[in-house]
Structure 1
Amino acid sequence: MFKVTEDMTIMDVLRQDKEVAYVFMKHGLHCLGCPGATMESIKDAANVHGIDLNSLLNDLNKFFEEKSK
């Protein structure tokens, strides 16, 4: 199963499954197509946008866990 980590970029995760975009949007990361999505880590993006990193990672990994069932 694919596991999302804080050092991955948003684009790393979207390349695995574009349907995961709604999880980022739910957490307030709406700039999925911006250059930062390919360069900065999920941790950095969460910090810049004031998003709870652990909550975001949990939801992203739940998404992939459900998809693997």
Structure 2
Amino acid sequence: MLITKDMGILEIVQKYPQTVDVFRGAGMGCLGCAAARFENVEQGASAHGIDVDALIDALNKAVAAE
């Protein structure tokens, strides 16, 4: 299953722990914060000024590499 921008951040991290480094590397180090439980990837990336398409691409590459 591919990661999409409408998936929840916490959902992704729980299913694919290898994505934690990708989120942190993109500047989203607050994976344990309250917002991460409710935000989807697009919302989180937007809040941090991150290119959501590049982030999704990196997340999917991390998952595929496993």
Name the TM tier (shorter chain): over 0.9
Q: TM-score, normalised by structure 2?
A: 0.93
SS in 2 for 1:30: coil
Off by >2 Å, runs of 4+ in structure 1: none
Indicate whether 1:57 and 2:51 are aligned.
no
- Report the Cα distance in structure 2 between the residues aligned to 1:17 and 1:51, rounded to whole angstroms: 20
Letter in 2 for 1:53: V
Q: TM-score, normalised by structure 1?
A: 0.89
1:33-52 alignment runs, 5 A limit: 33-52=32-51
- Report the Cα distance in structure 2 between the residues aligned to 1:8 and 1:34, rounded to whole angstroms: 17
Task: Determine what percentage of the aligned residue pairs are the same residue.
Answer: 33
User: What is the RMSD of the two structures over their aligned residues, measured on CA atoms?
Assistant: 0.9
- Report the Cα distance in structure 1 between the residues aligned to 2:29 and 2:65, rounded to whole angstroms: 23
- Report the Cα distance in structure 2 between the residues aligned to 1:52 and 1:61, rounded to whole angstroms: 14
1:1-69 alignment runs, 5 A limit: 2-67=1-66
Larger radius of gyration: 1
- Report the Cα distance in structure 1 between the residues aligned to 2:46 and 2:19, rounded to whole angstroms: 20
Note the residue ranges of structure 2 that are not aligned, 5 or more in a row: none
- Report the Cα distance in structure 2 between the residues aligned to 1:17 and 1:41, rounded to whole angstroms: 15
